[in-house]
Each structure stands twice: as C-alpha cells, then as structure tokens.
Structure 1
Amino acid sequence: MNQPSRHLFFLKNSLRGRSLVQILIYTNLALFTLVVLHGTILGLGMQVMFRPPTNLLVYWGGQYWPLVLEGGQWWRAITYAFTHGGLIHLGFNMMVLYQVGPLLEQEIGWNRFLSVYMVTALAATVAGLFWHPQVVTVGASGAIFGLIGFSVSYYHRIGGHIGIQRRNFMFQWAVMAFVFGIIIGADNAAHLGGLLSGAAIGWWMPISIRGVRQTDRLFHISGLIFAAATVISILCIPLSWLAR
C-alpha cells in the first residue's frame, strides 16, 4: 500500500462508526480553545473569549484572501471554517450544526455529507472574495448554510409528508440563522454563497444511489479526499507562522 493510500485508509477507519457531526464539532471546539489559550497567554483576558482580535484569528487560520492569492496560504480556504470570532459565534454555529447535521448525515452518509460541507464552505469563501476581498472571514456558518440549502432542495425533491416536513424544518433554521447573522454583523455574502451552492448540489445529487456504483464510488472517494484535505489544512496552520 503506497503512502497516500495508507493515509486514506487510516482516515476511513477513523471515521467508521463515529458521527462526523461530532468530529466536526470537536474540531471547532479544539481550535477555539487554542485561540483562547493563545489570547490568554498574550494577556487579552476575557476579550479573547467573546471578541478575539482579528490578527489572532488570522494567526489561527482565518481566511484573508491576500494571504491566499499572494502568499500561497491555500489552506485558509478550509481552516477559516473551523475558526470562530468568539464564544457566541461558535456556540450558535455548533448548535445549528448539532440540530441539522445528524439527520442529514444519517440520510446521505458521512462521505456525501462531508463533500457537501466542504464544497459549500469553499463556495462561501469564494462569495466573500467577490463581495469583500480585504475582510478577514471566519466561521462554519457558510458550510452550515450549505447543509441547510442542500437539505431544503434535497428533501423537496423527496416530497411526501416526511420530505416536506424535513424541508420546512431546515428552512426554519435558515431563517433563524440569517437573522442571527444580521444581528451580529456576520458575513451574509458567504452565507448566501453557501446556501445557494448547497441548494444546487441538493437539486443535482441522486436521491438514491443504490445500484449506481460509479456515483457511489465518486462520493466515497471525494469524502476521503475532503477528510484528508481538512486534516492537512489544519496541520498547515503553523506554516503561516513561519512566514512572519
């Protein structure tokens, strides 16, 4: 077994039997804890818990397009989705992910779930590039809006009582999340980018891939690739420190 295959095999077996939603939540919590610890060492006090300085967020993987396009720090297009601008920001995002994620993960499987999550996270940050390229972006909300947009579209196609009920449930969360984003002054361009890209994927993705082995294999491989890319990106965060 070659080296890349060994890493993918390890990731596959690490995820098996575990909830991907839980892994995502734990990863977000762990990165926020590191931000808080760093801020505490710098003597920032309680400020770092509720409103970390922008330079600290950039230090821990926040998305800043000049560093991506000019500095080659490509991993920020992924790590920004695991960095949060305070305890309230983190808490609301993780609450929504916990509410909408498990049902969808059970419905479509972890590999398709992670593919949707990461593709819409990337779409969200690209939307932010066109809207405000000089602004630092952090948070999982773009990807979470992607999951919601996907769910609304996907369950609408399923139809029936259960499909419509789940679609409406997801739509309610979309409204609440948008309102929350307006209240805290969040990046609603990224939210919209995530929502629309998720809806497009939900409209395209096969409802049932039973018997369609080629499509099943595509999502299985893409899920493993995104899992590997996420791990590698987070491990790349210290590389930005060396560039300073």
Structure 2
Amino acid sequence: PYRRYEAWRYLSYALIHSGYVHLVVNLAMQTVLGLLLELVHGWWRVGAIYLAGVLAGSLAQSVTQPHFFLAGASGGVYAITYAHIGNLLLNWSEMQFRWVQLVLCLVVTVADVSYALWDSYGSSVQSNTGHMAHLAGAVAGLLVGINMLRNLKLRRWERVCWWVSLFVYVTLILVGIILNATLPVPEFFPDNDYTDFATMKARFLSSLT
C-alpha cells in the first residue's frame, strides 16, 4: 500500500505468498480448475482470465482497504473458478454433466461467502485475508470468461451478453484505476514510500545481524 506508484505491483503481487500453505493451495486450485478449462478453450484464454482477475483483485482491495498488504494469486484463482460459470452460461446445451458443475459452483460459492462473512465479522481474530480481492477476481472471471471462452454455438442473446460483459468489466477496471490514481494521500491512501531498493536491501541485511 505504500508503493502504489509502482504500477507493476498491481499484477506482481500475485507472484508472492504468505507461506508454503498459501502457495501450494493456490497452485493446486489453479492447476486443477485451469486445466479443466484449458483442455477445451486453450491456455491463452485461461491466462487472460487469470490476469484479469489478478488486476481486478488488486484494484478493488486497494480502494476498499487502502492499508491492507496484499499477496498471493487468489484473485486469479477466483477468476478461473468463476469462469466456469461463464462457460456454463455460454455452452449449457452443449455440456455434459452441466447440472453437476452448476451444483458444485453453487456449493463453493455458498461455502466461500459464508467463510468470508464469518472471517470478516464473526471471528475474534482480525482477518488478514483479502476477501475483496477474491470477490473482484470472481466477478472478473465471470465477465471475462464470457468474453474469452469459446462459444460452441453462438446465439443472439449470447452476443448481447458478450458486449454487456465487456462493457461492465472495462468500466469497473477504469473506475478502479481512476480511484487508485486520484484518491488523496494521506487522507485516504497511506503516504508513499520512495525508499530505493539498495536502501531497503541494506536495512533488511542489517536486521539479520
């Protein structure tokens, strides 16, 4: 939150994690859920959805919790997860086991929302989970999934849905970028830290001795 002027951090935060468990869980989920989409729709479509979720997650988390430290690829994982709903929407008639997939998506959604509400408002321990990044990643996955995934049989209403999804996603991203760029410091965002890398490295090394 103190180096928002380094714009690449809105994507690169997904490369770091808070521990081995965090990393392994994200890798396992994106591998399983991503492969299921990749086998039909191709790696580049899934990759685009993933990055869309990562970006949406960081923008949303930064605006809603400006002092929150964000790490992990959960925004991208949630995007891939909820792209499956977009896939169901586009290719319902052409898919096997569609009801099973729909029920699984609903169960995951109910369980995740329930945990997020408990973790945010019911737990006695302060939450360190970026639930807003999860939510934004899920919304991005649904919207961009409709845009990016293969439509096996195009219908007229699906073409309208495609344009609506594109408009909504682009609008939300632009709003997020504008808010992150214009909301005041330090009234809303914390003060920027302009410490150079060499100084930070020296501080870190000195803390180890």
**TM (normalized to structure 2)?**
0.61
Return the match for 1:159 from 89, 92, 95. Answer: 92
- Which digits, 9 at most, give the CA deviation of each residue in 1:98-125, with x for residues without a partner? 3211101112101111110001100010
Seen in structure 2, the aligned counterparts of structure 1 residues 109 and 115 have a Cα distance that, compared at 3 Å, is same
Seen in structure 2, the aligned counterparts of structure 1 residues 174 and 108 have a Cα distance that, compared at 3 Å, is farther
Which letter maps to 1:141? Answer: S
Counterpart mapping for 1:39-188 below 5 A: 64=1, 66-69=2-5, 73-160=6-93, 161-176=96-111, 182=119, 185-188=128-131
Which residue is equivalent to 1:241?
197
Contact 2:50 2:80 in 1 (8 A): yes
Which letter maps to 2:28? Answer: M
Seen in structure 2, the aligned counterparts of structure 1 residues 173 and 192 have a Cα distance that, compared at 3 Å, is same
Contact 2:81 2:138 in 1 (8 A): yes
- Separation (CA, whole Å) in 2 of partners of 1:179 and 1:88: 21
**TM (normalized to structure 1)?**
0.53
Gaps in structure 2 of 5+ consecutive residues:
154-195, 201-209
Q: How far did 1:90 drift?
A: 1.7
Contact 2:56 2:140 in 1 (8 A): yes
SS, match of residue 70 in structure 2: coil
- Separation (CA, whole Å) in 2 of partners of 1:87 and 1:180: 21
Q: How far did 1:130 drift?
A: 1.2
| Percent identical | 22
Instruction: Report which of the two has the higher share of helix.
Output: 1
Seen in structure 2, the aligned counterparts of structure 1 residues 102 and 172 have a Cα distance that, compared at 3 Å, is farther
The higher-RCO structure (CA 8 Å, 6+ apart) is 2
Seen in structure 2, the aligned counterparts of structure 1 residues 163 and 196 have a Cα distance that, compared at 3 Å, is same
Return the match for 1:200 from 133, 143, 161. Answer: 143
- Separation (CA, whole Å) in 2 of partners of 1:148 and 1:172: 12
Which letter maps to 1:133? Answer: P
Total equivalences in the alignment: 149
- Which digits, 9 at most, give the CA deviation of each residue in 1:187-216, with x for residues without a partner? 100000000111112233453389xxxxxx
- Separation (CA, whole Å) in 2 of partners of 1:125 and 1:76: 9
Which letter maps to 2:103? Answer: N
- Separation (CA, whole Å) in 2 of partners of 1:243 and 1:199: 42
Q: How far did 1:177 drift?
A: 5.0
TM-align CA RMSD:
2.8
Contact 1:120 1:198 in 2 (8 A): yes
| Rg (Cα) greater in structure | 2
